[in-house]
């Protein structure tokens, strides 16, 4: 007999997300993803100064705390045809890459590890055996029996206190939890260490950004970070070397701990490798530009359809026509007025709430489509798109990760395992490592450019009469982000953000094509409908960010049925 499960709230994500699934014969047969909040920022921006937009839209999300800022200044610069100085491009690249390190570490440990790691089981682990296991996986200096014993004591004290706080009433002892106690203890120890390393990343970011979250060093036309090293108010060489040191420490944590833990989870949960693929159309934007004009990028962009690498079509520049021409947003199943599908420059965001209707409108999220197709975006999309193009850095990093999973799992696995729940985690860890390398390379580019005597950081924007349209594209930690602006006589006439979590968490469209979250849940096993841990695994693998994707719920405030026999 089929059962309906409603998970609301989905926790360990940013924002308010509700997921409904129908389970039949122990697996998911239907799914709905519903964003539960609407703020209307697009409407607030109308009539305002385009230079201010980035500070408003940055507040779309405090997790993706740099990305909307970046896409916004790019959209205005694109509308004005304004090129920024090379230093500004490189400082922005530092912001992008370092933020990414923070974001991916926090996502794996704070937001998703507890789907796979049983904290209570760690109490049964032997610290010496744990150290032996950890040593077999990496040379990380934190993996000592003493540390693992201390962490075990910490868990014991917490459990004995009877106040489990954020760890209360979760999925400990769930039959889908498969890690041996030693792997659980190792992961709990790394969970705590991750809190230190994410902080180091944000410190590096704050040195150039002024604070974090919500850096305050951008401006339409460049950056405000003063790089003139002859003055003490500037980010001097000493400060830049401080950034480098912090990033190196974080890079080591990513490569020796984060990547290793993902490999261990992937290998020890190899039964899970086939689950969670869903939509295998992928799209990524080029980013980490090496030139002021935004034509040469260290991260490749492109599209792939139906998981077929031979369909690769590149997206090459910061404002690529292939991308611009093919994006539409559908509101057929979203709580907005109408049922149109429109290009973002023509799109609007006028709320019209009805009800949660399984076959009608059921979310505040729109359904973005590319050439009419749902697309999956994010680190996985970026890896697949790079891999298909033979992008050297990507191929090398992905192959290294796959061979480590193969070694630990004891079976040979290839890139096909990337299409799935665990594949998304693997791709994110690979991307984190790549971004750490790139942060350091772009640090070099910046320092070399400064050494040549170039201190330029800003080209002032000038707003002509008439209408200008611009797009700002950015490869955020959660995937391809685009901001679309229409400027009229120096004021914002229309503004739309088409964000990664809208691509992934969006609903069905007029043709009934499922969004990526929904499609990825099909066929997921569900051992216990009362404790639907497996749904969380797949949803968390996307790194949901619903404030970004935004937009609700049930005006009657009806009693929500949690698990219902159909």
Partner 1 sequence: MADTVNTTLDPQLNRRGFLKGITMAAAALGMSDAVIPKMVEAAASGERPRVIWLHFQECTGCTESLLRSSHPDLARLILDIISLDYHETVMAAAGHQAEHNLHDTVQNHPFILVVEGAIPTKENGIHCMIAGKTAMEILAEVAPKASAIIAIGTCATYGGVQAAAPNPTGAVGVQELVDKPVVNISGCPPNPVSFLGTILHYLTFNRLPELDKLGRPKFAYGRRIHDHCERRAHFDEGRFVEQFGDEFHKLGYCLYKVGCKGPETFSNCPAVRFNDVDVWPVSVGHGCIGCTEPNFWDTMTPFYERLPQVKIPGTGIVADADSIGKKVIGVTAAAVGVHAAVGIGKGLIKGKGGSDEA
Q: Which of residues 75-104 bind partner 1 (CB under 8 A)?
A: 85
Query: How many residues of this chain bind partner 1 (CB under 8 A)?
Result: 110
Q: Which of 61, 107, 347, 483 is catalytic?
A: 61
Q: How far is 458 from 307, CA to CA, in rounded Å?
A: 42
485: contact with partner 1 by CB under 8 A: no
Residue from 196, 357, 467, 528 in contact with partner 1 (CB under 8 A): 196
Q: At 29, which helix (H) or strand (E)? A: strand 27-35
Stretch that binds partner 1, among 222-230, 297-305, 310-318, 368-376 (CB under 8 A): 222-230
Residues 6+ apart with CB under 8 A from 160: none
Nearest C-alpha neighbor of 367 from the set 536, 473, 553, 518:
518
Look up residue 83 and give its DSSP letter: P
Q: Are strands 491-498 and 222-223 parallel, antiparallel or unpaired?
A: unpaired
Contact positions with partner 1 (CB under 8 A) in 1-20: 6-16
Q: List C-alpha distances in Å: 7 to 21, 31, 542, 563.
A: 8, 11, 16, 9
Stretch that binds partner 1, among 130-138, 165-173, 387-395, 401-409 (CB under 8 A): 165-173
Question: Of the two residues 81 and 165, which places its CB atom closer to partner 1 in the complex?
Answer: 165
231: contact with partner 1 by CB under 8 A: yes
Question: Of the two residues 105 and 297, which places its CB atom closer to partner 1 in the complex?
Answer: 105
Torsion of CA 77, 79, 81, 86, to 10 degrees: 20
Q: How far is 287 from 284, CA to CA, in rounded Å?
A: 9
Contact 344, 469 (CB under 8 A): no
Contact 265, 65 (CB under 8 A): no
Nearest-approach distance from CB 275 to partner 1, in angstroms: 18
Q: Which of 12, 64, 219, 424 is catalytic?
A: 64
Tokens 């290793």: give the residue: 260
Nearest-approach distance from CB 292 to partner 1, in angstroms: 14
232: contact with partner 1 by CB under 8 A: yes
Residue from 25, 166, 410, 466 in contact with partner 1 (CB under 8 A): 166
Contact positions with partner 1 (CB under 8 A) in 490-549: 531-532, 536, 547
181: contact with partner 1 by CB under 8 A: no
Q: How far is 252 from 158, CA to CA, in rounded Å?
A: 30
Residue from 207, 334, 426, 432 in contact with partner 1 (CB under 8 A): 207
401 is annotated as an active-site residue: no
100 is annotated as an active-site residue: no
Question: Of the two residues 193 and 320, which places its CB atom closer to partner 1 in the complex?
Answer: 193
Nearest C-alpha neighbor of 422 from the set 268, 255, 541:
541
Q: Which of 74, 251, 478, 531 is catalytic?
A: 478
14 is annotated as an active-site residue: yes
Active-site residue set:
14, 61, 64, 68, 478, 501, 545, 548
């Amino acid at each position: 007999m089929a059962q309906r499960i409603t998970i609301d709230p989905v926790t360990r994500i940013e924002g308010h997300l509700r997921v409904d699934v129908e389970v039949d014969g122990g697996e998911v047969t239907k799914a709905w993803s519903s964003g539960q909040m609407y703020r209307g920022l697009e409407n607030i921006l109308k009539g305002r100064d385009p230079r201010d937009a980035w500070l408003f839209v940055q507040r779309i999300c405090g997790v993706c705390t740099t990305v909307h800022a970046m896409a916004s200044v790019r959209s205005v610069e694109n509308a004005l045809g304004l090129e920024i100085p090379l230093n500004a491009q490189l400082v922005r690249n530092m912001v992008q890459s370092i933020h990414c390190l923070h974001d991916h570490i926090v996502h794996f440990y704070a937001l998703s590890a507890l789907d796979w790691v049983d904290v209570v089981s760690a109490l049964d682990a032997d610290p010496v055996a744990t150290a032996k296991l950890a040593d077999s996986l990496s040379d990380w200096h934190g993996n000592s029996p003493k540390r693992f014993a201390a962490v075990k004591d910490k868990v014991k004290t917490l459990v004995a206190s009877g106040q489990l706080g954020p760890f209360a009433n979760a999925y400990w002892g769930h039959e889908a939890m498969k890690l041996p106690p030693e792997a659980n203890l190792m992961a709990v120890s790394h969970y705590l260490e991750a809190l230190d390393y994410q902080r180091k990343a944000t410190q590096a970011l704050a040195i150039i950004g002024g604070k974090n979250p919500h850096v305050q060093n951008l401006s339409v036309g460049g950056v405000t970070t003063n790089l003139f090293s002859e003055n003490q108010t500037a980010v001097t060489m000493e400060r830049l070397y401080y950034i480098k040191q912090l990033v190196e420490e974080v890079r080591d944590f990513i490569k020796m701990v984060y990547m290793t833990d993902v490999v261990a989870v992937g290998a020890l949960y190899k039964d899970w490798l086939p689950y969670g693929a869903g939509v295998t159309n992928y799209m990524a934007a080029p980013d980490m530009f090496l030139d002021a004009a935004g034509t040469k990028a260290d991260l490749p962009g492109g599209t792939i359809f139906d998981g077929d690498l031979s369909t690769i079509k590149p997206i090459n520049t910061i404002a690529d026509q292939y991308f611009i021409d093919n994006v539409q947003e559908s509101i057929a199943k979203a709580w907005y007025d109408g049922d149109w599908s429109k290009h973002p420059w023509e799109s609007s965001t006028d709320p019209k709430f009805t009800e949660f209707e399984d076959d009608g409108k059921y979310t505040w999220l729109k359904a973005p489509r590319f050439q009419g197709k749902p697309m999956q975006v994010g680190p996985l999309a970026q890896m697949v798109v790079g891999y298909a193009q033979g992008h050297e850095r990507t191929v090398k990093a992905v192959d290294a990760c796959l061979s480590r999973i193969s070694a630990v799992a004891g079976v040979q696995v290839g890139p096909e395992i990337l299409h799935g729940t665990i594949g998304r985690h693997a791709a994110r860890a690979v991307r984190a490592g790549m971004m750490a390398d790139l942060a350091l390379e772009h640090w070099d580019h910046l320092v070399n450019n400064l050494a040549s005597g170039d201190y330029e950081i800003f080209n002032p924007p000038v707003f002509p009469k008439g209408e200008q349209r611009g797009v700002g594209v950015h490869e955020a930690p959660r995937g391809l982000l685009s901001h679309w602006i229409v400027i009229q006589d120096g004021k914002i006439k229309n503004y739309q953000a088409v964000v990664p979590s809208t691509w992934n968490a969006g609903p069905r469209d007029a043709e009934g094509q499922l969004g990526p979250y929904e499609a990825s849940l099909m066929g997921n096993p569900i051992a216990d409908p009362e404790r639907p841990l497996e749904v969380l695994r797949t949803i968390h693998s996307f790194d949901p960010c619903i404030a970004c994707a935004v937009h609700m719920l049930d005006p009657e405030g009806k009693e929500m049925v949690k698990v219902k026999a159909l």
